[in-house]
Amino acid sequence: MEELPATAIGLKVNDGIVLASERRLSYGGYVLSKQAKKVHKIGKFLMAGAGIYGDLQTLTRIMNVEIKYYEISTGKPISVRAAAKLLSVILYQYKVMPFISEILFGGVDEKGPQLYVLDPIGSLIEDNYAAVGSGARIAIGVLESEYDPNMNLDIAAQLITKAIKASIERDITSGDGIDLAIMDKKGNYENKFIPY
């Protein structure tokens, strides 16, 4: 399978999770937009991805509705694993005409911070850190050399920013700034934009 344009990275530490992506929306060698937000907060969860932008937006809308429906019908909050599994099932249902996307999904619940990686047909893998998209090979090298599960969220945000910057410098389909989404182990959420 051809690499999907963009770079998105997720990182899980003991204190929470950080997801990030750059903002360039490209088609081949043509830049369609420099303002494409690829990191989203869905309820108490974070989602980032690479691939067809419209597919990522659609999956974000579907997950918003499905999570609210689950919580209203059961009367209790959905866990991170259950929400990731729900996304996996949705992706698998469309396997004949898949959403062209690689997704990072994470959040914090009573089991602590969790990060999942999903492919276009719903494979679900839990990991401590991951990178998807055309800049993933560059970013993963930075993460592997410096990742420590005991680092605090500020250091984790700096590491993920460093990895995205490395991808931007070497991948033509990545660029135009970095969106960071940070969630601590209490569920507090912070969103940052870093021009680059």
Q: Which residues are catalytic?
A: 7
Please check whether residue 15 lies inside any domain of the structure: yes
Q: At what angle do helices 136-146 and 153-170 cross, to 10 degrees?
A: 150
The pLDDT assigned to 71 comes to 96
Residues in contact with 45: Cβ distance below 8 Å, sequence separation at least 6, in sequence order:
63, 67, 80, 83, 105, 106, 107
In contact, 72 and 148? CB cutoff 8 Å? no
Count up the domains in the chain and report the number: 1
Please check whether residue 144 lies inside any domain of the structure: yes
- The CATH number assigned to the domain holding 142 equals 3.60.20.10
Please check whether residue 102 lies inside any domain of the structure: yes
Q: Mean pLDDT throughout 139-143?
A: 96
Say if residue 1's pLDDT is above 60: no
Please check whether residue 1 lies inside any domain of the structure: no
Q: Count Cα atoms within 13 angstroms, Cβ side, for 63.
A: 29
Domain residue limits at 172: 7-194
Residue 2 pLDDT level (bands cut at 50, 70, 90): low
Please check whether residue 180 lies inside any domain of the structure: yes
The pLDDT assigned to 172 comes to 87
Q: Mean pLDDT throughout 18-41?
A: 91
Q: Is this model's pTM higher than 0.75 or not?
A: yes
pLDDT tens-digit readout, 161-180: 999 999 999 988 899 999 99
**Strands 101-109 and 25-27, how do they pair?**
unpaired
Mean pLDDT of the chain: 95
d(CA 159, CA 180): 11
